[in-house]
Amino acid sequence: MDMTYNNFLYEGYWWLSLLGALHCIGLGIYIRYIYRDRNDNHKLLGAIFSLLALYFLTGLIAKHNTPIPLQLVFILIIPAYFLLMPMLYLYCYRSLHNIKRNISLSRHFYPAIGLALLNTMVFLFSPDFHAKIAGMPQQSMSHVTLLGAIQPALLSLQTIIYFALILRLLKRFKGKAQRAHQDSLKDIKFRWLLALTLAMMSNWLVRTFLVILPFYFGDSVSVTAQASTRLFLLLTVYVLALYGLRQITMAAFIRGKLTRPTQTRAAQKTSEQLLNSEELNYLQQIHQNDNKNEQI
């Protein structure tokens, strides 16, 4: 009975990871190449969903389909997750400040690049690493264990710092908007950024309590816990997609209402000008006929 349940759980976890990866890849492609933002901020949003797709794809990695140990694979992938919060912060900052310059390599990405280089150097110059790949017996890889223990803690610290920066940024913008009585379009933008931030924060909290804290307390992380984090993230992606479409529809409706009075006033002005011109021509004809009658 336990074997059947475990097989069902592992299979469900695999399909959940595949489904989440495909949905995030589809959203990333749609946002990157179909939905266009005038300030190119859609590129950052598309990259965020691409990173979420990478997180789902790690659920498809198993011992039988990777040439190196799973622990090494996950340690090599971890630096990519250090890009998520900087991209979310840059997306919020650029959106709220209407920054139109091209997106380039920001200093916010330096920690992820530095960790990626560090992991690569450690593994390339480690005799134990080469022995493990070659299938030869090796000693305990203490440096790998150290990297695997430190980097999740650093990632959590980075996440807390960036969440604080983003919430302070949103709070400051909301205060300015209330004082300046901003229009509804900016309110829609603010609500979308707040919803995106809270969604990421809630998923980070779920992952922290179900995966990261048990890992540091020495407990084994069950497949049920990992599947729960992916299921929660997948549901969050669905909610964000539906909410984003609703916000886009509302923004298009408001833009239409804002442009319609301008078009109406322009049409009225044109009609008034045409009417005045006809009236002038008519009066001019009457004046000419009166002059002719006087001459007769």
Q: 33-81: per-residue pLDDT in tens?
A: 888 777 788 899 999 999 999 999 998 888 777 777 777 788 889 999 9
Residue 137 placed within a domain: yes
Domain range spanning residue 209? Answer: 2-264
Q: How far is CA 45 from the centre of its chain?
A: 4
In a domain, 282, yes or no: no
Taking only the tens place, the pLDDT of each residue in 154-167 is 999 999 999 999 99
- Asked whether residue 123 is domain-assigned, the answer is yes
Please indicate, yes or no, if residue 158 is contained in any of the structural domains.
Answer: yes
* Residue 255 in domain: yes
Q: Do the domain assignments include residue 273?
A: no
Specify the pLDDT at position 271. Answer: 46
User: In this structure, are residues 213 and 156 in contact, taking their beta carbons and an 8 Å threshold?
Assistant: no
Q: Has residue 96 got a pLDDT over 70?
A: yes
- Please indicate, yes or no, if residue 284 is contained in any of the structural domains: no
Query: For the chain, how many structural domains are there in total?
Result: 1
Report field, pTM of the whole predicted structure over 0.75: yes
* pLDDT, tens digit, 9 for 90 and up, residues 13-28: 889 999 999 999 999 9
> What average pLDDT does the segment 131-152 reach?
64
Torsion sign across C-alpha atoms 245, 199, 178, 165: negative
Give the per-residue pLDDT at 132: 55
Q: Is the pLDDT of residue 130 over 70?
A: no
b/e per residue 148-160 (b: at least 16 CB within 10 A): beebbeebbebbe
CATH code at position 253: 1.20.1070
Q: Where residue 3 falls among pLDDT bands split at 50, 70, 90?
A: low
Average pLDDT value for the chain = 80
Q: Kindly report which listed range (25-29, 176-180, 193-197) carries the lowest average pLDDT score.
A: 176-180
Q: pLDDT value at position 220?
A: 79
> Residue 150 falls within a domain, yes or no?
yes
